[in-house]
Structure 1
Amino acid sequence: MTIEAAASIGAGIFAGSLVVLAFGLDSLIELASAGVLMWRLSVELRHGRRFSERAELIASRIGGGLLFALAAYVTVASLWRLYTGVGEAFSWPGFIVALIAIPAMRYLAYRKIAIAEKIGSRALRADAMEAVTCGWLSFVVVISLAAQWLTGAWWIDGAGSLAIVWFLVKEGREAWSGDDCSCC
């Protein structure tokens, strides 16, 4: 995730690509979420289940809040780009990293979901949903960059970035409230 974040953020900044930059920022959010999750599990190990329920709620809400923050950033930045008529330059590094991330994130998300169901952890489920979001964002990045490369249309970066916002908000709401979590 660290390599994915660094490569995507660097490629996004270099190419001026919001969709690649958002992908890299999502990777940073996943890293932060993993840190919060490790904290939550350490609380349970040190203090037992009673204390971990409170830590579970805090960790789940942090995961949801991070998804909301990413959704807000992507929305504002995408709308600004569409309003100002600023597009991206095609990014081969961003394209390659996103292409590799599609199957990697799918595998990681399924493993995290399976473990979340076994241990009954909303926080791990929220972390898994961030991996799912990263997988979808990877797909959007690949499609957006391929379409931009093929057509040269300036608006594809902004439109492609907006395509993922609904998913970020949906998963953020579920993480925040614990809804639709069959594991809990």
Structure 2
Amino acid sequence: MTAPAVTESATGGPNAERRALLRRRGLGLEYATLGWNVIEIGFLIFAAVQARSVALAGFALDSVIEIFASLVVVGQLKGATDPQREKRAVRLIGVAFFALAIYITGQSVLTLALGIRPDSSPMGIAWLAATAVVMLALAVGKARTGTELDHPVLRAEAKVTIIDGALALAILIGLLLNAVLGWWWADIAAGVVLIGYGLREGWHHIRQ
């Protein structure tokens, strides 16, 4: 027995049943992102302490911020938020990104001043490699769902998820250089990437 064809509305978009399905799919993708980030925080904090890694500590804090960002999108998909609360939430996310940049700057300066040499972190390397793959897969799903649903926030969240994957890849390269070549400063350099990312995202969210 073949499945019934999906009908389109008079405006050419998906009908109500299809839109409900797409919203559930979008929520599922956001919940998957939330779940990954929650688990990630524990892994990365442990790995950061073990390796004395500025980059891993910064990425763990970034995961906390991304959790709040995903919650904003979940509220929109559920229709459980209003424009004023949403604007306040977006501004708070921007402030949090600035705080992230300030923290990593201070931690990097302290690490250099005290002569701390970050160790290699096999756990951090494995997790970041997995994160890069998972974030890319989630981003593709969000982009397709957001495009069909014509949901600009979900499409924007897909771009953020791609950036998260790219950020994980950049930090992964720094950790690999430290582990393979002994370039301890590559960990600090990866942290600098996070500083630039935090400033950029902070300014972007506050302007919104």
Fold conserved (TM > 0.5)?
Answer: yes
**What is the correspondence of 1:87-126 to structure 2 with a 5 Å cutoff?**
87-112=117-142, 115=146, 118-121=150-153, 125=156
* Aligned equivalent of 2:108: 78
Q: 1:159 aligns with which of 186, 189, 194?
A: 189
In 2, Cα distance between equivalents of 1:64 and 1:165: 13
Structure 1 residue 176 corresponds to structure 2 residue 203: no
Q: 1:4 aligns with which of 25, 40, 49?
A: 40
* Aligned equivalent of 2:33: none
Q: Tell me if the contact between 1:103 and 1:135 (Cα under 8 Å) persists in the aligned partners.
A: yes
Cα offset, 1:93, TM superposition: 0.6
TM-score, length-scaled by structure 1: 0.77
Q: Tell me if the contact between 2:170 and 2:190 (Cα under 8 Å) persists in the aligned partners.
A: yes
* Aligned equivalent of 1:13: 49
- Secondary structure of 1:89 counterpart: coil
Pairs aligned (count): 170
CA distance 1:73–1:133, change in 2 (3 Å): farther
> How many percent of aligned residue pairs carry the same amino acid?
26
Cα offset, 1:74, TM superposition: 1.4
In 2, Cα distance between equivalents of 1:79 and 1:172: 21
Cα offset, 1:145, TM superposition: 1.0
In 1, Cα distance between equivalents of 2:171 and 2:188: 11
* Aligned equivalent of 2:32: none
Cα offset, 1:162, TM superposition: 0.6
Q: Tell me if the contact between 2:142 and 2:158 (Cα under 8 Å) persists in the aligned partners.
A: yes
CA distance 1:106–1:68, change in 2 (3 Å): farther
In 2, Cα distance between equivalents of 1:20 and 1:100: 14
In 2, Cα distance between equivalents of 1:53 and 1:119: 15
Cα offset, 1:99, TM superposition: 0.5
Cα offset, 1:153, TM superposition: 2.7
Q: 1:136 aligns with which of 149, 152, 166?
A: 166
In the alignment, structure 1 segments of 5+ residues that lack a partner are 46-50, 179-184
Look at both structures and tell me which one has the larger radius of gyration over its CA atoms.
2
What's the RMSD between the two structures over aligned residues? Answer: 2.6
